[in-house]
């Protein structure tokens, strides 16, 4: 028996990296997962991996910031699995620059992705969650649902060159704590995980600064210098960056029954790092 048997989980940005590990972790505990990625290929691969392992997963590919995506995402869970039990707002990337050089396009792309998209998804899910909670109350049942929003230590302490990202990740903490108060009556636990330095394709060493990813036609620089990567050994008390599986574990903890009395909290997964 898994800790999440019978639960339906939605995970944004789950075709790669941390999101993929979250989806696989929840599925390993029995959750039925709606996998999302900007690109259909990686999302389909994760769906196949879960289904081939004996789990249940479906795909809802697309940009989480697009008009109508949130409703389509929610509808996929309801139509495929009958409801919503877990929402993990994980999708994201960074598009950095110092404030005098950040364009309006950069600002809104990152704020919309990290703050508005989670808001849209949670707003779309509210009617489903509230109706289920009312029916359960009428039947004398208590069912806890879980929301885990992904923040960052940049949202706690700021980070030079990331005014857009830091502002959005700080905002998600306010959204988390507000919904914990609004949705407590539905027995929904709403928490956040703030990641520190996690090794992904976005944070791999890039000696010449030429590493990029393509985001719908935008070429976004990613990666960190080998010098910064080396500095993590002294900056982080545990002496190393975290793995995607370790990041996923911190999220999964907040979806388990053991967390049924934890809400409105922010967990830092950063190896002990504090700015």
Residue of 93, 108, 157, 165 with catalytic role: 165
Answer for the pair 35, 60: CB distance below 8 angstroms, yes or no.
yes
Three-state secondary-structure class, residue 118: helix
Answer for the pair 113, 119: CB distance below 8 angstroms, yes or no.
no
165 is catalytic: yes
Contacts of 232 (CB under 8 A, 6+ apart): 197, 240, 241
- For residues 164 and 169, give the distance between their C-alpha atoms in angstroms, rounded to a whole number: 9
- For residues 253 and 243, give the distance between their C-alpha atoms in angstroms, rounded to a whole number: 16
- For residues 180 and 106, give the distance between their C-alpha atoms in angstroms, rounded to a whole number: 30
- For residues 210 and 1, give the distance between their C-alpha atoms in angstroms, rounded to a whole number: 47
Contacts of 93 (CB under 8 A, 6+ apart): 113, 202, 213, 215, 220, 222
**CA-wise closest residue to 186 among 261, 130, 141, 127:** 130
Answer for the pair 178, 122: CB distance below 8 angstroms, yes or no.
no
Phi first, then psi: give them for residue 149, nearest 5 degrees: -95, 140
Tokens found for residue 70: 């949130």
Answer for the pair 203, 210: CB distance below 8 angstroms, yes or no.
no
Could you list the active site residues?
A: 165
């Amino acid at each position: 028996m898994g800790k999440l048997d019978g639960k339906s989980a939605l995970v944004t940005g789950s075709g790669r990296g941390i999101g993929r590990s979250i989806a696989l972790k929840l599925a390993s505990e029995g959750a039925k997962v709606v996998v999302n990625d900007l690109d259909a290929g990686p999302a389909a691969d994760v769906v196949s991996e879960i289904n081939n392992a004996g789990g249940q997963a479906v795909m809802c590919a697309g940009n989480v910031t697009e008009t109508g995506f949130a409703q389509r995402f929610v509808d996929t869970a309801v139509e495929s699995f009958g409801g919503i039990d877990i929402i993990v707002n994980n999708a994201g990337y960074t598009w950095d620059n110092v404030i005098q050089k950040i364009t309006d396009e950069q600002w809104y792309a990152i704020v919309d992705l990290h703050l508005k998209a989670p808001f849209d998804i949670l707003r779309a899910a509210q009617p489903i969650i509230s109706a289920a909670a009312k029916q359960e109350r009428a039947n004398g049942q208590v069912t806890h649902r879980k929301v885990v929003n992904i923040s960052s230590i940049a949202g706690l302490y700021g980070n030079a060159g990331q005014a857009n990202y830091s502002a959005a990740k700080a905002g998600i903490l306010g959204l988390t704590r507000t919904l914990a108060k609004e949705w407590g009556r539905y027995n929904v636990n709403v928490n956040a995980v703030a990641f520190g330095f996690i090794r992904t394709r976005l944070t791999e060493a890039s000696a010449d600064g030429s590493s990029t990813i393509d985001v719908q036609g935008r070429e976004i620089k990613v990666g960190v210098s080998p010098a910064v990567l080396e500095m993590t050994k002294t900056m982080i008390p545990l002496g190393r960056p975290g793995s995607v599986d370790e990041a996923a574990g911190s999220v999964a903890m907040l979806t388990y029954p053991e967390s049924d009395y934890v809400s409105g909290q922010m967990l830092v997964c950063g190896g002990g790092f504090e700015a």
